[in-house]
Structure 1
Amino acid sequence: MTFLYILSWVSLVLQVCFVTISIAAGLYYLAELVEEYITVARRAILLMIISTTIVYIMFIFFDDLPWKMVLCGFAAQVFHFSIMRNFPTIRFLSVPFIGAVIFLIINHLLAFQYFTSYYFPFTQVLAYFTICLWIVPFALFVSLNANDNVLPTVNENSYLRGDQDVVTHYFARGKKQGLLSLFNYVKDSIFPSRNKKSF
């Protein structure tokens, strides 16, 4: 029985490794899709925000969730809509982004407090967290690299000074820092590519 116990831990470690690699591959694929199809990604994220808002409306009529949870959920969706106004450009120090992060934390605290006070099956708790709390921020996180493929625009500082320099901001940004760039760096550092032989 001891050998089987050790074997179960070894298999658990292998399963965690396989799941982690699968998630990383899926995120890489999604990041490439978002980079290629920015307009479709914008529509998909807007559809997710609208769907989440409809779910919160359904909670008002069909469930007895606390009003604080529902109102904070609505406020988070308002901030998500505000972020989508400038999509694919997402500014980390903007009011909509900071508000979305703050309401994400508040919604998690309220949800943990509520679901630890009252019994719900695990599948219902997971459904709430997945649909109401995680899906839109996850989609926005994956779409962070979409900004890397946007054509150069007017530099805001030079625009305020009166210069109409279109590419200054684009070239001054330096290296890309999106999610896809991170995955490409990890891929290149862990799995170095082979040089093709030309015959």
Structure 2
Amino acid sequence: MWILPLVGYVGLVFGFAFLTLAIASGLYYLSELVEEHTRLAKKLLQRLIYTVIALQILLVLVDGFPIGLSVLSVASHGIYSLNLRHFPVVKVTSPVFILSCFLVLLNHYLWFTHFSLPPPPPPQSSSRYDLYSSTDLPSFAEISSYFGLCVWLTPFALFVALSAGENVLPSMGSEYATGEGSSFVSPGKGPEGPGGVGGGKGGGGREGMAKAVVNGVRDWMGDTGELMGFWKGDKVRRF
């Protein structure tokens, strides 16, 4: 067969492209929701952190998860919650934010190492109980669900929530909101631009981190496509 493998490769490329566009669209839509409901987003993030901590404690008490790694996970979510003190303003150069990013990578590595270890050997005993007992190994679905809910969900939600920059009150936008290292990106005009304090939606308002990433990738793809001749635009007309 020659044609069917080629069709499979083309389908993989299109599937990956559509999946990437779907994720980018979802991030953009979530960013818009966070901007419109900042107070509700903060409350939901707090409830999410408390829920993950309670779930981690239950996993230790009921399923016998390792205590050391579970304590690290609970402490990490406590550090994550410190980013909500000035929500929606988050300074990406603050020690709390940098420590949170480090803890995300550390938790992923340690839990991945834990689940990658071979199962312990069965106990050498001739008792009736051991004859019918077997090692209860977690399945791939259980491991991936644990990573998605207890390791990645809270940092991902915090990353999306960093986009709530349009509704910052002037009283919150002092050095922490507009200083160097703030999570808000000012495209064009600064906080004192035509839209007044904070710019607003009509005068160069600040973009959050998630929206800035999506817009940056979209602009880069548009400029690259114009320069390569896939479509015409402003950059092609200049020549």
TM-score, structure 2 length as denominator? Answer: 0.68
Match of 1:74, SS state, is helix
Name whichever structure is richer in helix by fraction: 1
1:181 and 1:114 map into 2 onto residues whose CA distance is 35
Deviation per CA, 1:73-120: give whole Å up to 9, x if none.
011111112111211111222232222222212111111111111463
Checking the alignment, whether the CA contact within 8 Å between 1:76 and 1:103 is kept in structure 2 is: yes
Residue range with higher mean Cα deviation, 128-137 or 59-68: 59-68
Residue number among 194, 197, 211 corresponding to 1:180 in the alignment: 211
**Where do 1:1-199 residues align within 5 Å?**
1-118=1-118, 120-153=138-171, 155-156=174-175, 170-171=191-192, 176-178=206-208, 179-184=210-215, 190=222
Shift in Å at residue 156 of structure 1?
4.1
Identity %: 33
Residue range with higher mean Cα deviation, 25-34 or 100-109: 100-109
Figure out how many residues of one structure are paired with residues of the other and give that number. Answer: 181
Q: What letter matches 2:142 in structure 1?
A: Q
Structure 2 stretches lacking a partner, 5+ long: 119-136, 177-189, 224-239
Structure 1 stretches lacking a partner, 5+ long: 158-168, 192-199
Task: Choose 1 or 2 for highest CA Rg.
Answer: 2
Q: Kindly tell me: are residues 182 and 103 of structure 1, through their superposed partners in 2, closer, same or farther at Cα, counting changes over 3 Å?
A: closer
CA-based RMSD: 2.6
Checking the alignment, whether the CA contact within 8 Å between 1:45 and 1:139 is kept in structure 2 is: yes
Q: Kindly tell me: are residues 184 and 104 of structure 1, through their superposed partners in 2, closer, same or farther at Cα, counting changes over 3 Å?
A: closer
